[in-house]
Amino acid sequence: MTKTKKAGIDGGNSSGKMRIGEHEFNIPSVYAEQINGAVSNFEMADIAKDELIKNLDFTFVSTKALKATNKRYIIGEKVLKDRSSTPVEMELNSNKAEDELPVIVSLAGLALEAMLSNEGKDKITASYDLSVALPYQTMKKGYGDTHSDRFIGTHELIFHHPSGRNVNIAINIEYAKSMTEGAAGAWGVVYDDKGKLKKRDLVINGETVPVTFENRTILHTDIGAGSTELVVTNGVKYDPVLSQGLNYGVKKTIEDVIVLWNDTHDRPIDSVAEFNDIYINAHHDIHTELRSVSRPYLEALAKSLAIKIKNMRDKLKDNPLTFIYGGGAIILKEYLTDALKERNSLKNVFFLEEPVFVNAKGLYVFTTSPIFDQLKKTTIQG
């Protein structure tokens, strides 16, 4: 009998962050269709286990989540390396609950985990329970169940090795649940991946004290590519009335920088995913110059967000614990810190470690919780 693994997937505009069983993946949200199929070089070896994530090449044979099936896509880093491909990213104002790209990346991640856990097999069946996240505004409009339902059921994929060997993978998602971004992150802030309360050292009245967060008001500032969530929780209890979502993140600003860059430089940047790869990689040839070109744009965005954050903190009163994370937090940390400092609103503000994975880890913790199991039982029993 196939064991059902637990998974949390934060399918973002710029990348899909995943905690699946014991594996963590960060797959750029970009794909390219292989119209005629990639050429197999039969003299080549199979892709090594630790290189699979950089060489995602799948045919989506059967899945209710996509309008068209039997299409072959390269996904993530493989697209960024292949200069001959035309990358497809999420549109700026795309509805994440309806766009197919998050599904393509998420299913690719699940299939990758299945291959890593079944090394050498040509036919794999894997079962999962899954939690996924949507922006505040999308959840508010009632898309949660629509998004979850896309995943529930069986999805058949084929992974193509350049040697010509194919791996057939059947993914069975027994149950899926959608959560609000930020509210999902709370589960990873309050609990570790074993469900035990986390402790963090905080400076209170001049003394460093280890504290837990199960009964504390927290403002989660989750800065993504397409949206920013200002979510309020008490421990993991989500307060949708006090929370709000902004319909912008860092993507529009990055796209403006890319346009300027491509107009003034011979070496083009083809996607937001490629921009992120260059901006974060200090060893990339154009890293320093790209940061310089980006600075005024990112400073302006940081000031705009700092005003929203300060207004929310003032509304909650008494310098509430404020945790800042998300992929956008990496790019904006320096500028956002300065902007909040200028507004005397840095007290009890913390930029979390591994900011990209906070929602994914929170989703995973929720999926492993008794609450998830009860929701699954209730739903399946009708």
Q: What is the pLDDT of residue 278?
A: 94
17: confidence class by pLDDT, cuts 50, 70, 90: very high
pTM of the model: 0.93
**pLDDT 10s digits, 276-311:** 989 999 999 999 999 999 999 999 999 999 999 999
Q: Which residues contact 371 (CB under 8 A, 6 or more apart)?
A: none
For domain 4-182+361-381, which CATH number applies: 3.40.440.10, 3.30.420.40, 1.10.10.10, 3.90.1150.10?
3.30.420.40
Q: What is the pLDDT of residue 369?
A: 96
**4-182+361-381 matches 192-251+266-356 in fold:** yes
Question: What are the Cα distances from residue 205, in Å, to 200, 314, 340, 347, 349?
Answer: 16, 20, 21, 12, 15
Contact status, residue 42 vs residue 164, Cβ threshold 8 Å? yes
Q: Just give the CATH number of 192-251+266-356.
A: 3.30.420.40
13: confidence class by pLDDT, cuts 50, 70, 90: confident
**pLDDT above 70 (res 237):** yes
Tell me, letter by letter, the H, E, C secondary structure of 67-116: CCCCEEEEECHHHHHCCCCCCECCCCCCCCCCCCHHHHHHHHHHHHHHHH
For the chain, the average pLDDT equals 93
Q: What is the pLDDT of residue 94?
A: 86
Average pLDDT over residues 75-88: 87
**pLDDT above 90 (res 45):** no
d(CA 131, CA 175) in angstroms, rounded, equals 8
Burial class of residue 132 in the structure, from the number of CB atoms within 10 Å of its CB (0-12 exposed, 13-18 middle, 19+ buried): buried
**pLDDT above 80 (res 29):** yes
- The helix/strand count (H/E) of the chain reads as 11, 16
Q: Which residues contact 160 (CB under 8 A, 6 or more apart)?
A: 38, 40, 57, 58, 59, 72, 166
Q: Looking at the chain, list the stretches that DSSP marks H as alpha helix, in order from N- to C-terminal side.
A: 77-81, 101-117, 136-140, 144-151, 183-190, 251-264, 272-280, 287-316, 327-342, 358-367, 370-381
For the chain, percent of residues with pLDDT exceeding 70? 97
- The DSSP-derived string for 28-44 is ES-EEE-SS-PPP-TTS
**pLDDT above 90 (res 168):** yes
Q: Name beta bridge partners: 123.
A: 168
Q: Tokens standing for 264?
A: 């003034």
Contact status, residue 233 vs residue 188, Cβ threshold 8 Å? no
d(CA 126, CA 114) in angstroms, rounded, equals 6
φ, ψ for residue 137, nearest 5 deg: -65, -35
238: confidence class by pLDDT, cuts 50, 70, 90: very high
Residue 220: its H or E element: strand 217-223
| 37 vs 9, more confident | 9
d(CA 69, CA 92) in angstroms, rounded, equals 25
d(CA 96, CA 121) in angstroms, rounded, equals 33
Q: Where are the domains of the chain?
A: 4-182+361-381, 192-251+266-356
